Amino acid sequence: MDKITFTIDGQKITADKGMTILEAALENGIYIPHLCYHPDLEPVGVCRLCMVEIEQRGLFTSCNTPAEPEIAVRTETPEIEKVRRVTAELLIVNHPFDCLICEKNTNCELQKIAHFIGIDEEHINKMRKPERILPIDTSNPFFIYDPNRCVLCGICVRTCRNTVSISTLDFMDRGYNSIVSTFGNKPILESRCVSCGECVARCPVGSLKPKETPIPSREIKTTCPYCGVGCGLILGSRGDKIVSSRGDIENPINKGQLCVKGRFGHEFINHPERLTTPLTKKDGLFVETSWDEALELIADKFSHYNGDQFVALSSAKCTNEENYIMQKFTRAVMGTNTIDHCARLCHAPSVAGLAQSFGSGAMTNSINEIQYTKSIFAIGTNTTSAHPVIAYKIKNAVKEGSKLIVANPKEIDLCEFADIFLQHRPGTDVALLMGIMKVIVDENLYDRDFINKRCENFTDFKSSLDNFTLDFVERITGVHRDKIIQAAVTYATHKPGMLFYAMGITQHTHGTDNVLATSNIALLTGNIGKPSTGVNPLRGQNNVQGACDLGALPNVYPGYQKVDVPAIKQKFEKAWNCTLSEEPGLTHTEIFDSILEGKIKVLYQMGENPVISEANASHVIKAIEQLEFFVAQDIFLTETARYADVVLPASSFAEKDGTFTNTERRVQRVRKAIEPLGESKPDWQITCEIAKRMGKEGFDFTHPVQIMDEIASLTPSYGGISYERLEYHDLQWPCPNDTHMGTPILHSESFATASGKGKFMPLTYKPSFELPDDDYPLILTTDRSLYHFHTATMTRKGGLVKLRDRELVEINPQDAEELGLTNAQLVKVISRRGVVKSQIKITDVSQKGVISMTFHFAESPTNLLTNDAIDPVAKIPETKVCAVRIEKV
């Protein structure tokens, strides 16, 4: 970075070229009063408080005047003092004086300015106008807006418009009546606000402020427990309570930004419903027991069953270390590979598909590359709801000129920013993508050079495109051919291009084919192995990447090392000092069949809730009821845990140390902020205790740091990961050794396949398993709400409920009319597998013939309806498409 020098009040200042005078001053510890400036936002120069004089040139607002070499800046002259005083006094006369009861007190920029320039009370009182008291908006569950304290700096307006691209707020009215408000002056709760709190975090005064504002007595850096973006959080605590949460500006991913869940969704941690003592079931009722008794019982029971009768369900919510311990326990102690977790229900096809085409099943590129890309293809991802902070970045890239193609059966929020929106029918992704690729090939827009050098199997693939004529694709997908052509040309001619997808691609009986279609298009356009390109599956849970990496899967040890390769088996047998099974275990979906067949008799479950999350949930319930012994380890008594024989209270992410691996393979620290609640214990400790009581060695860990060392010694891609290095470095796997700095971009030299080449995969179109017919004429697809997570065990414990408190079946106005339904009407949704009651929401977001539901609400369990037909390769159930009908209640 080029440096320049100049002077402020005679002192020599060195600054980066391009900095403003205000930035240079602040960085050098010189205070210049300012109100409308915020380091995250483009300066606008409206408050005029930051006035300085550049000698021989005159007065300038320092926040938007670049520092130039050799200028002489003065911050104090009689003229500046006069301008500044008048401006400040005008703000102060209109502002309440009750600083002591304002939560912003001592942290308020206006107060700082008042102190700095010195206020003459008498003078101010003379100027004071009759008080204008505007109503305070308390509608939002997490923050209030007090317009009486607003100084009209516009920071919130710019934050909402430029940072999160929601544009809830703007200046309304004019002159003395000017006010920051929403469209139609509605309460914030009724506006389009998504409650991210970014404006609240930046308001310089006490106008926008959180409702709960206890000042924490200590703070600790950790990682958000919700989605796979992996935002850095700073949790504040007092005593044994978490009282605050804010974004970590030093975190390379979110740089201080958060979404509503990360910023406000921490009420679950100290919630009274948390499990705090072990429970055992006696005569159908839970009774509290001691750890000793519970663990003895479990150790004794587990010892009486062999590996074939045992299954472990691990958790994508738990840390890497805990998943490692869980799979070690399953394999080394119980002698089986039957361990799986909810990744089976979300990204198994990504792991299986991308392993075939690229040799490694993870996001190929990194989140921060989004800002430099020229085109974004978002298919089957409702990013603003499920990965909000990535959505902020996508929208900002679009504002910087990137093209955005959205393909989704629903007109999701992201469409507002899209250049092209392809509203295809659910389950027709292969046809859509192959159709686009055929256009790219026919128009000669493919990357010949890249294909020749780095790929294989192109000819076979190319001939498989023949079936995907525009006629055919238009008919299958329902997307007009012009749009298909437009999308093809846009993606192929705006490079580099990043493709993002999520469960809209994976949760199908042809999920693996869908994933292969995405890898084909990346290979075809040469969009892989380079910055700002790639195939980027967005992982749902905070640590679903890590749970897969650490071998909570039935066919692989940590680091995707196959259980049926003898050399690998031997390596682990030696390390763990035991004999291991070379037979891959059963998958999530197969497990419940096996229980019903009477083969599996014991379930050890850590932090999962399959009764709500699994397709065709009644099948799961039937299976669970048939178990001989069921241990559930969780932070709450979930719908599934209620069926358990023993329930073990686990500690939440705030009460333990560990690591999570985010969607872009970045390993990040989780740090203990408070002591475990009640008698709860971290999951790793509980599993180790059971193993030790069963007389097994290799579980004598006293801290997760030791577990990570063992992981690093056995997992090549985590070889260079240690807690010590994570203090100083951002590491993304593969990170094979202590000197390796991690791998932000995969496949840049060669692919991880056997031949080192990217493999094109010929594809055919396969319809979804269950299509609409006369009895079940509608397609049900599943979706997520921004305000809840998964089965909502954590998010239905506080203010988030106020933002969304029930299931709403989204239905197109035409369908609603044909069925004679009105908005908010209660209906029955019926599939071949079950019936669920819910209210409806009539909206254009849904296309005709397609309704959608979330699965956050246990009282309207959507997964009673969904289909458990599975993808033959990845074994994922088809939760995105099933046939239903709607009846009035």
Partner 1 sequence: MEERLKKIFSSYTGKQHELIPILQHTQNEYGYLPENIMLDIAGFIRVPESRVYSVATFYGQFRFTPKGKKHVMVCRGTACHVRGAPRILEETEKLIGIKEGETSPDLEYSLETVACIGACGLAPNMMVNDVTHGRLTNKKIHAIFVRKEKGESDEK
Summarize as ranges the residues that interact with ligand SF4 (CB under 6 A).
Answer: 150-156, 159-160, 164, 166, 168-169, 180, 193-199, 203-205, 207-208, 224, 226-227, 229-231, 254, 258-259, 261-262, 387-389
Nearer to partner 1, 172 or 694 (CB): 172
**Cα 467 off chain centre by:** 37
Nearer to ligand FES, 88 or 259 (CB): 88
User: Which one of partner 1, ligand SF4, ligand FES, none interacts with residue 227, CB within 5 to 8 A by kind?
Assistant: ligand SF4
Q: How far is the CB of 191 from partner 1 (least distance, A)?
A: 8
Q: How far is the CB of 507 from ligand SF4 (least distance, A)?
A: 20
Name the residue number minimizing CB distance to ligand SF4: 262
Asked if 489 interacts with ligand FES (CB under 6 A), we say no
The token pair that represents 187 in the structure block: 């309460």
The token pair that represents 610 in the structure block: 């399959």
Q: How far is the CB of 127 from ligand FES (least distance, A)?
A: 21
List the one residue from 58, 78, 118, 184 that touches partner 1 (CB under 8 A): 184
Q: CA 418 to CA 407: how far, in whole Å?
A: 10
Q: CA 564 to CA 638: how far, in whole Å?
A: 35
Asked if 161 interacts with partner 1 (CB under 8 A), we say yes
Secondary structure of residue 560 in the 3-state scheme: helix
Q: How far is the CB of 345 from partner 1 (least distance, A)?
A: 36
Q: CA 544 to CA 347: how far, in whole Å?
A: 9
CA dist 452 to 260, 459, 466, 498, 531, Å?
46, 11, 21, 21, 20
Q: How far is the CB of 861 from ligand SF4 (least distance, A)?
A: 23
Contact window for ligand FES (CB under 6 A) among 31-39, 380-388, 634-642, 876-884 = 31-39
Q: How far is the CB of 165 from partner 1 (least distance, A)?
A: 9
Q: CA 63 to CA 39: how far, in whole Å?
A: 10
User: Which one of ligand SF4, partner 1, ligand FES, none interacts with residue 48, CB within 5 to 8 A by kind?
Assistant: ligand FES
Q: One symbol per residue from 643 to 682: x for binding ligand FES (CB under 6 A), - otherwise; what is it?
A: ----------------------------------------
Q: CA 360 to CA 362: how far, in whole Å?
A: 6
CB 495 within 8 A of CB 374: yes
Whether cis (ω within 30° of 0) applies to the bond prior to 877 is no
The kind and range of the H/E element at 453 are helix 448-454
CB 109 within 8 A of CB 102: no
DSSP string, 582-598: -S----HHHHHHHHHTT
List the one residue from 4, 19, 21, 63 that touches ligand FES (CB under 6 A): 63
Asked if 36 interacts with ligand FES (CB under 6 A), we say yes
User: Which one of partner 1, ligand SF4, ligand FES, none interacts with residue 148, CB within 5 to 8 A by kind?
Assistant: none
Burial of residue 552 (CB within 10 Å: 0-12, 13-18, 19+) is buried
List the one residue from 48, 241, 571, 671 that touches ligand FES (CB under 6 A): 48
Secondary structure of residue 870 in the 3-state scheme: strand
Rg (CA), the chain: 29
Query: Which residues in 254-293 belong to E strands, given as ranges?
Result: 279-282, 285-288
List the one residue from 103, 170, 411, 679 that touches partner 1 (CB under 8 A): 170
Asked if 162 interacts with partner 1 (CB under 8 A), we say no
Contact window for partner 1 (CB under 8 A) among 168-176, 261-269, 514-522, 772-780 = 168-176
CB 793 within 8 A of CB 642: no
Asked if 360 interacts with partner 1 (CB under 8 A), we say no
CA dist 77 to 27, 52, 58, 112, 439, Å?
22, 8, 11, 20, 67
Q: CA 392 to CA 131: how far, in whole Å?
A: 39
User: Which one of partner 1, ligand FES, ligand SF4, none interacts with residue 173, CB within 5 to 8 A by kind?
Assistant: partner 1
Which residues 840-859 are close enough to bind partner 1 by CB under 8 A? none
Residue 54: CB atoms within 10 Å: 18
Nearer to ligand SF4, 415 or 778 (CB): 415
Q: How far is the CB of 561 from partner 1 (least distance, A)?
A: 51
User: Which one of ligand FES, ligand SF4, partner 1, none interacts with residue 172, CB within 5 to 8 A by kind?
Assistant: partner 1
List the one residue from 182, 319, 633, 685 that touches partner 1 (CB under 8 A): 182
Q: How far is the CB of 4 from ligand FES (least distance, A)?
A: 20
Query: Could you tell me how many residues of this chain bind partner 1 (CB under 8 A)?
Result: 14
Q: How far is the CB of 423 from ligand SF4 (least distance, A)?
A: 25
Backbone torsion region of residue 284, taken as left when φ is above 0, otherwise alpha when ψ lies between -120 and 50, otherwise beta: left
Asked if 45 interacts with ligand FES (CB under 6 A), we say yes
Q: CA 757 to CA 788: how far, in whole Å?
A: 41
Nearer to ligand SF4, 53 or 549 (CB): 549
Nearer to ligand SF4, 151 or 548 (CB): 151
User: Which one of partner 1, ligand FES, ligand SF4, none interacts with residue 45, CB within 5 to 8 A by kind?
Assistant: ligand FES
Nearer to ligand SF4, 604 or 789 (CB): 789
Beta bridge partners of 759: 456
User: Which one of ligand FES, ligand SF4, partner 1, none interacts with residue 497, CB within 5 to 8 A by kind?
Assistant: none
The token pair that represents 803 in the structure block: 């933002």
Please say whether the dihedral angle defined by the alpha carbons of residues 437, 441, 442 and 444, taken in this order, is positive or negative. positive
Contact window for ligand FES (CB under 6 A) among 47-55, 213-221, 640-648, 874-882 = 47-55
Backbone angles phi, psi at 403, to 5 degrees: -80, 150
User: Residues 6 or more apart from 488 whose CB is under 8 A from it?
Assistant: 436, 437, 439, 440, 443, 445
Q: How far is the CB of 92 from ligand FES (least distance, A)?
A: 15
Asked if 24 interacts with ligand FES (CB under 6 A), we say no
List the one residue from 4, 26, 54, 61 that touches ligand FES (CB under 6 A): 61
The token pair that represents 673 in the structure block: 């902020």
Which residues 854-883 are close enough to bind partner 1 by CB under 8 A? none
Q: How far is the CB of 733 from ligand SF4 (least distance, A)?
A: 19
Asked if 97 interacts with partner 1 (CB under 8 A), we say no
The kind and range of the H/E element at 89 are helix 78-93
Q: Helix H segments across 412-536?
A: 429-442, 448-454, 458-464, 470-477, 481-493, 503-506, 511-524
Nearer to partner 1, 419 or 709 (CB): 419
Secondary structure of residue 226 in the 3-state scheme: coil
**Cα 629 off chain centre by:** 34
Secondary structure of residue 216 in the 3-state scheme: coil
Q: CA 591 to CA 336: how far, in whole Å?
A: 13
Q: How far is the CB of 166 from partner 1 (least distance, A)?
A: 8
User: Which one of ligand FES, partner 1, ligand SF4, none interacts with residue 49, CB within 5 to 8 A by kind?
Assistant: ligand FES
Give the number of residues written for the chain: 889
The token pair that represents 786 in the structure block: 């921004």
Contact window for ligand FES (CB under 6 A) among 32-40, 191-199, 573-581, 660-668 = 32-40
Q: How far is the CB of 75 from ligand FES (least distance, A)?
A: 13
| Greatest Cα pair distance in the chain | 90
Which residues 190-209 are close enough to bind partner 1 by CB under 8 A? 191-192
Q: CA 841 to CA 812: how far, in whole Å?
A: 9
Q: CA 569 to CA 54: how far, in whole Å?
A: 73
Asked if 60 interacts with ligand FES (CB under 6 A), we say no
Asked if 462 interacts with ligand FES (CB under 6 A), we say no
Residues lying near ligand FES in the complex (CB under 6 A): 34-37, 45-50, 61, 63
Residues lying near partner 1 in the complex (CB under 8 A): 161, 167-174, 182-184, 191-192
